[in-house]
Amino acid sequence: MKTIGITGGVGSGKSEVLRFLEETYGAVVCEADKMAHSLQAYGTYCYEKIVEYFGEEILTPEKEIDRKRLGAVVFSDPGKLQFLNGLIHPEVKKCFLKQMEEEGRRETPLLIIEAALLLEEHYEEICDELWYIYTEKDIRICRLKEARGYTEERCEEIMQNQNPDEVFRAKCDRVIDNSGSFEDTKRQIEEILKKMEIQSR
């Protein structure tokens, strides 16, 4: 089984890459964000710690964590973002390691983990390769405005809290340029996986 970690800045088009790997290569995809979401469900360890730290104002009337409200709080305060990441991401990594064991037993050919903090959480220790999905900043901003309705200020604010391009490039094994057509992106991925002897379905 080959295990690939995929990362990149917000709006870089990682979801499209994951979908392609899943549909064309039968990859099992684990998204850290989805894992993190389930770890914050009502009554869990992380839920209790988050409410204790941030207070009940980040909850919905149904007592669930309001992710938009929590996001607005942490992205404007680096200290609070650090607390949240320090709580959630080690738990996400534990979940992923468990999944790795399960997929290894099933002899899954390709396992993908997508995480914003792939580098900070040292996923190079457990992945065969780390891929950086690069997209020009202007394109990312346009995508975020269209897909999520963000303002330019909001995009800039989020991007400032993420690794700069040079850090991703220095620490990842591969750079996939997703600034052009997705056909071009697919060609880059196909070339890499051919060398890794991973067949499409």
Q: What is the pLDDT of residue 129?
A: 96
Q: Cα separations (Å) of 161 from 43, 81, 127?
A: 29, 9, 24
Q: What is the pLDDT of residue 160?
A: 85
- Report mean pLDDT in 10-residue bins for the chain, 201 residues: 95 95 96 93 95 95 94 89 92 93 95 92 94 95 90 87 92 96 97 93 83
Query: DSSP letter at 65?
Result: B
The span from the CA of 128 to the CA of 189, in Å, is 15
Sequence-ordered list of residues with C-beta below 8 angstroms from that of 149, at least 6 positions apart, any chain: none
Q: What is the pLDDT of residue 23?
A: 96
SS3 call for 165: helix
Characterise 26 by phi-psi region: left (phi > 0), alpha (psi -120 to 50), beta (else): left
SS3 call for 6: strand
Q: What is the pLDDT of residue 133?
A: 97
The span from the CA of 33 to the CA of 114, in Å, is 8
Q: Which of 129, 175, 173 is nearest to 12 (CA)?
A: 175
pTM over 0.75: yes
The span from the CA of 109 to the CA of 1, in Å, is 4
Q: What is the pLDDT of residue 75?
A: 81
Total length of the chain? 201
Q: Which of 23, 18, 39 is nearest to 112 (CA)?
A: 18
